[in-house]
Amino acid sequence: MADRLVSGKSRDEDLSLDTSLRPRRLAQFVGQDKVKENLSIAMQAAMQRGEPLDHVLFYGPPGLGKTTLAGVIAAEMGVNIKVTSGPAIERAGDMAAIVTGLRPNDLLFVDEIHRLGRAVEEVLYPAMEDFFLSWVMGKGLGARTINLKVPPFTLVGATTRYASVAAPLRSRFGMVYRLDFYDEGAIRDLLGRSASILGVEIEPDGLEEIARRSRGTPRVANRLLKRVRDYAQVAAQGVITGPVARASLALLEVDALGLDNVDHSVLSAIVGKFDGGPVGLETIAASISEEADTIMDVYEPYLMQLGFLARTPRGRIATRLAYQHLGVPYKEKAPHLQNSLWQEKGG
């Protein structure tokens, strides 16, 4: 299914945008201040010792800068970066070929690292700890073990599902950082930088309008800016004002909170088809013809941050705030469901 404007995913359409707008240095990276501070100290210490940076794992919702930070680390450390992803590495030999091709202190970035196969992970364990590869080729009497020393390197992993990363692999990362949604101020700063790079004339109220609807996600913010820029160029002499931004975003079906048609479909299905829940994720996905993984990784985190959706042991429940946003009268839940919701919130 095609990516949506506020999905937090990126494909070919946005490759040129990503390339031009992604910061190259830590000082240019907006937001995630604690992560940046810790990374800066670790990188300076590693360079002073002449060692590779310890392995780093970034996790959190899509579009928050995990890939960008990997590129920033490589630039700051002055090393090459090799980029791959978990699904692209099917065999242990593939990983061995990648690692042996690295030069000393290079950075290997693995996106969706939770999707690495077990055999591939087992090749990584000694490589991460001792910079040593050991794997078996062949089967039965013809099997043989291959041992190979590899140059010291830094593995940077990224995942939207931290719990799905195997425990032995997680334990081998010296630094683990969660990237959180950005506040509106950070998104405004990011949009101001992006508008300057793109040569877009944007007024403060236009900047505010886009920032408010960006879901706290830099990738979404930049994509909305690009679409609003198109609208302003065609319909408003190229200047993004508040009214121009509102008109453009309304045309794109992005509401005042940044919710798009899929977000509304998820909430409407729970409220309208399943009486507010609880309802299972697979059932919601089937009812709106969307993938369950996409709902869980892309849409649920923001809906939960807004307080529109709650996960309970019995399934997903639409909250009172969701009913209010949809303009539907709220229905009180039965006591046992209220208790489940209360327990899920830590009561």
106, 111, 260, 263: which one is catalytic?
A: 111
145 is known as an active-site residue: no
159 is known as an active-site residue: no
- Give the max Cα distance, the chain: 75
Residue with tokens 């869980």: 296
Nearest-angstrom CA–CA distance, 85 and 313: 32
66 is known as an active-site residue: yes
Nearest-angstrom CA–CA distance, 9 and 19: 15
The residue type at 184: E
297 is known as an active-site residue: no
160, 241, 294, 312: which one is catalytic?
A: 160
Distances (CA, A) of 273 to 265, 268, 284, 296, 312: 11, 7, 9, 19, 18
Angle, nearest 10°, between helix axes 204-212 and 184-198?
A: 120
Distances (CA, A) of 73 to 38, 49, 54, 61: 12, 16, 11, 20
4, 22, 67, 154: which one is catalytic?
A: 67
4, 22, 213, 219: which one is catalytic?
A: 219
The answer to whether residues 257 and 264 touch, using CB atoms and an 8 Å cutoff, is no
4, 22, 66, 172: which one is catalytic?
A: 66
User: Cβ–Cβ contacts within 10 Å for residue 88, how many?
Assistant: 14
9 is known as an active-site residue: no
The residues annotated with a catalytic role in the active site are 66-67, 111, 160, 219
